[in-house]
């Protein structure tokens, strides 16, 4: 089997960036691909990285903020236009399946016109998914928890769901934080962690370094970056953790086995 790779397709935060696409990552497992989040601009960077949309057979969506999910209808349209019969499974918060179907219908991607079967599976806390070469376990974060009561007051079905994902590929573990309420959202996720793909919008870096150090994390990839992100903060903080610190850039391919 070729070396599994993680390709950063979109490393922007919720603020639109002139240089980065919205949150999106591709796990290249050799025989097939798993797309993790699909923000605006993800499809273009996916093509630039040399992949075909029909090659992805699993999509994981952490939560439905636009910077993580707005690129999905466009990605689906490319899959439709390819004529592929390769089945697709979308793993998403349970609250998201209905709205996603409505968005696809909005774009005239009616289920019975798609050339491929599509299935929606709700992400369930700590329920491992076997994705043929990768085992993914979802852990809830509190990123949207404060808005659940607000949605209930409005009579909306939103339940404030957002999930971090622990992705095991062979003997390597990638932890994708998605968006966090606080760093403590990740406390329940077991070590070892080889790659921590962590968002920088809601996490103070001065807290992240000791947290990562206490868990002996080998590599930290800082992502979900706004254009005004202070890169000097990273340079000054490096001595407080032995982890290698990388700054996410769209198009970067990481060798998972490194």
State the residues that interact with Zn ion by CB under 5 A.
Answer: 14, 65, 67, 179
Nearest-CA neighbor of 224 among 185, 177, 164, 165?
A: 177
**Cα separation, 35 vs 165, whole angstroms:** 12
Distance in Å, CB of 64 to Zn ion, minimum: 8
Cβ nearer to Zn ion, comparing 29 with 35: 35
Task: Tell me how far, at minimum, the Cβ of 132 lies from Zn ion, in Å.
Answer: 28
Q: Which is nearer to Zn ion, 169 or 225 (CB)?
A: 225
Neighbours of 99 (CB within 10 A): 14
Nearest distance from residue 143's CB to Zn ion, in Å?
5
Give the DSSP letter string of 198-229: EESSSS-HHHHHHHHHHTT-SEEEEESB-TT-
Q: Least distance to Zn ion from the beta carbon of 199, Å?
A: 6
Helices (H), 9-96: 42-48, 66-69, 72-82
CA distances from 239 to 206, 220, 243, 248, 257 (A): 11, 14, 9, 20, 25
Cβ distance to Zn ion smaller for residue 14 or 99:
14
Q: How far is the CB of 236 from Zn ion (least distance, A)?
A: 25
Q: Considering the complex, what minimum distance in angstroms separates the CB of residue 62 from Zn ion?
A: 8
Which CB, 65 or 215, lies closer to Zn ion?
A: 65
Q: How many CB atoms lie within 10 A of CB 218?
A: 17
> Closer to Zn ion at the Cβ: 8 or 88?
8
Instruction: Give 40 or 179: the residue with its C-beta nearer to Zn ion.
Output: 179
The C-alpha atoms of residue 36 and residue 254 are separated, in whole angstroms, by 15
């Amino acid at each position: 089997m070729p070396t599994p790779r993680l390709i950063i397709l979109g490393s922007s935060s919720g603020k639109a960036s002139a240089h980065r696409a919205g949150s999106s990552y591709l796990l290249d497992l050799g025989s097939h691909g798993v797309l993790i989040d699909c923000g605006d601009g993800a499809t273009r960077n996916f093509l630039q990285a040399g992949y075909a949309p029909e090659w992805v057979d699993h999509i994981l969506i952490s939560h439905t903020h636009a910077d993580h999910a707005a690129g999905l209808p466009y990605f689906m349209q490319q899959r439709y236009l390819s004529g592929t019969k390769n089945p697709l499974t979308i793993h998403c918060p349970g609250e998201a399946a209905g709205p996603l179907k409505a968005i696809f219908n909005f774009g005239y991607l009616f289920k019975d016109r798609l050339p491929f079967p599509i299935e929606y599976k709700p992400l369930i806390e700590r329920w491992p998914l076997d994705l043929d070469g990768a085992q993914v376990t979802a852990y809830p974060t509190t990123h949207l928890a404060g808005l659940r009561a607000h949605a209930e007051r409005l009579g909306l079905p939103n339940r404030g769901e957002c999930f971090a994902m622990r992705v095991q590929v062979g003997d390597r573990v990638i932890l994708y934080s998605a968006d966090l309420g606080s760093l403590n959202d990740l406390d329940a996720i077991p070590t070892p962690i080889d790659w921590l793909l962590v968002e920088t919008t809601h996490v103070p870096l001065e807290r992240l370094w000791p947290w990562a150090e206490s868990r002996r994390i080998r590599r930290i990839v800082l992502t979900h970056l706004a254009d005004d992100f202070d890169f000097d903060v990273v340079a000054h903080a490096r001595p407080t953790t032995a982890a290698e610190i990388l700054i996410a850039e769209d198009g970067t391919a990481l060798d998972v086995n490194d």
